[in-house]
Amino acid sequence: MPDELEGEFVLKEKKEAENEPSPTTPSEASAVKNLQKIHFLSSLAKYPADVIFENQEEDEEIILLVRRDLITNVPWLIAALVLIFIPPLISIFSYLFTPFFNFSADTLLVAELFYYLIIIGYIIIQYTLWYFNVGLVTNKRVVDLDLPGILFKHVSETKLNIIEDVSYNQVGSIRSVFDYGDVYVQTAGTEENFMFDRAPEPALVTRIIADLIGGPR
Amino acid sequence: MDINSILAIFSDQNGLAKFALIVLIGFYSLFALIILIQIRNLNRIVNQIKFSPIFTFIAFNHLLAALALLVFAVLFL
């Protein structure tokens, strides 16, 4: 009896598979899958639309795009906000400096404009560091772009078939509350290991990569 | 150059501030250029087709603002 049931399930699965339209080209394959529209603040996207990367092969499609969780941007946003309000505060207490400093109005204006330009630069740099610290999982490989500083970048990639293990850790109350953590991708032998730093929904990311490496090699 | 003229230069706070501002804005403009080049290079590695041009445009405007401020400081201060 159990054998018959199992047989029925297998037949049903086969029938369902037969009914599904079989894409012949990567673009058709992408059309069949639900492409996720992403914007400039997307930190996790499954089958992201309108994303390409260097050396992408024709039949290669991006399955997962991972950036640091959005909440990790809060410290530098607060810092920028505090910095924005410093010049008005200084102007309120300017009478304290008057006997010591004596600058013309033009000089002060240029200095203030320069100060705000530096803050804009700071915001652009911090956003760049977040935006380009990205991990991509495709149907063929894992690509990791690390950007510790604006003048330093590190790009590494590995084929899916040499990935041995994928795991994640989520330590601390903030990471638990906002559901983000570090995802580790361990590769075979002397190959470099990967880490998706502070990735959102690490359990989901780990499961997706595990499903990919668990498939036929 | 005698000591009095050196003292005159250093006692002119406003003049020193103008000179320092122009030098600093000049260096900052170079830095803004480096940011723009770096963003363009990084966009080649990972390209989010709809947003990448906007991002480059923002970085370009940042450079333009720095250059405009430098020109203003040199001409009008």
DSSP summary character for residue A94: G
Amino acid identity, position B54: I
DSSP letter at A73 equals G
Kindly state the tokens that stand for A157: 């990639």
Name, in order, each residue with C-beta under 8 angstroms of B8's C-beta and a sequence gap of 6 or more.
none
CA distance B28 to chain A (A): 8
The set of residues, in sequence order, having a beta carbon less than 8 Å from that of A10 and lying 6+ positions away, is: none
Q: Each residue of A26-37: pLDDT tens digit? A: 444 445 567 888
Q: What is the ipTM of this complex?
A: 0.91
pTM of the model: 0.83
Contact check, Cβ <8 Å, B76/A52: no
Res. A52: pLDDT tops 60:
yes
Q: Centre a 10 Å sphere on the Cβ of residue A97 and count the other Cβ atoms it contains.
A: 11
Tally of CB atoms within 10 A around A140: 17
Contact state of B76 with A107 under an 8 Å Cβ cutoff: no
Mean pLDDT score, A137-151: 92
- What pLDDT, in 10s, does the model give residues A64-95? 999 999 999 999 999 999 999 999 998 888 77
Closest-CA residue of chain B to A120: B62
Q: Give the tens place of pLDDT for each residue, B8-65.
A: 777 788 889 999 999 999 999 999 999 999 999 999 999 999 999 999 999 999 999 9
Answer whether residue A23 shows pLDDT above 50.
no
Q: Report CB contact under 8 Å: B46, A132.
A: yes
Numbered residues of chain B with Cβ closer than 8 Å to any chain A Cβ: 13-14, 17-18, 21, 24-25, 28, 31-32, 34-35, 38-39, 42, 44-51, 54-55, 58-59, 62, 65-66, 69, 72-73, 76-77
Helix (H) or strand (E) holding A8, with range, is helix A2-19
